[in-house]
Structure 1
């Protein structure tokens, strides 16, 4: 079931929540709406569900207009952040609820409901909890039950609003992996909201990056991470270092270092900003190759098998962070306070005038 979002607008008093958003979400894929708080991602999800009405624009499921359809008629399964399970019902009764309240003509038999529920509980690996109550389950288990309940009515579309946001980091990581495997089994067109970049990159087939109600970029996780459309996307998708640069006809200079930037061949003597991720910086103890930027090590932090090095470089307005394997750092023999040289292995340069807020 593909989803088409056509020029959706939504305003709350003086606040524009969704600003002329158009998207095509492919059938059978898991799409992440990713963005900071207030970016419009949850409002857009609620408009897709029919829980919120857009001021203008339309929503189509597989070519059929759903814009004025009631939420109960859209065939949508919805999973909230805080489980929303019925506390007075057993796990079995919670999952069965959507089937038992169907009109009598459409309601399956008790035996069919029992089989459906147990099959779903087995799918989410919690069939042994059927006769327990939600209060007897962990947060991660309750969220899996909430997902089973959403799937019970065989939704055309599955929508998840920060489904793991209320859980601790370890449980979140486990459920991300579990959700990806589950989706590969059921192939229901799914959209989930998250502000967690790692979650989106790990779980989604497609990522829509939102900011101030607008779509900044959409594409596969690899596309948005490797080829960010603008500084906002670059900075939002993980840690990044910022360097002052000077751009002239496809050549960019950062301090004494010169980079090829053919996408900026039309720029003549303009200020630029170069973005470089910590793991894409090569750290050296000398500049014998003559292609490094001078820096001084301000701090060294060992995090498991990785070393995070903070440096001060003349070409950067803020401290620079480099990350490298522990063995590699030890081989350099560098300590806090030492001089070092850094070389970008990969970078992205934008013109400063084009993105004044960066």
Structure 2
């Protein structure tokens, strides 16, 4: 069977076939050297390696796994998700026009606003889950880049990726999709027409809350992709060997972890949706969710591990529930094997986020234990 025919679980578990050819070890090695030797004729001992900023064996393994999972033409890893976003944004020329989905991860919005202001780039924030609103923005004039996030964090809104791609391309723009909350296991934006898909690999792709990382994958290499690659290598936005090795180790269980996390998230969303202490649950796996039908069409194997809950009452009621949880760690981030709860209004009070919203990142613990913990915290 050709490696291109491997299913995601096989590709991940086998680390895309990576082994150590020198020792025969089935675990890829870590090579920490920052520079590589030449022989007496000044030829490279290994033609693939000159200097760590450009050449990193562990990074190449991680990129091969991600490329296969994403069904991409090429993938590049970065030292953080924001570094990956920055690499994309730096391709926008001064005076260009960017359409950014509103209500997405606040760190992205904050950085993109500041970057566009410095570069005199026209930035328009649009609710991209409303295809009509996105169409109007795209038809208003030439666009350099359209950036969306689906499912979005923390609102869990769903964007029609195929429609967004058509609209972006008609406006002369590339479409970039942040698919962190979906992972390459549940969604393949490139197959739906996106030009670049981005992930914060810090989250579920690594899955163990011990590595910062980001990744970009492209549908078709070209001038835009070459510019991103050259910028990453030249500016030094590279991942170190140890972090890349940990990332590969984490990815070997990615399909298993995502399957379990999605099953539990779905069960908890249904439980919370009927709970008297909950005003609303934001999760695309619920039939009542406005983006449910669309998510069902463009996601396979589940609806993700992230959900948001509106506790009945206000800020103090939400904080009381968060404070009573015993299994959910009160911490930021998402996608790890351990479940987390975050009061987003404390993090971004200026964005209009409801004061009674709790964001839950569901891990791989026993679903019954998590349900019992939420029940006692909600008072029932």
TM (normalized to structure 2)?
0.28
Q: Which has the higher helix share?
A: 2
Q: Which has the higher strand share?
A: 1
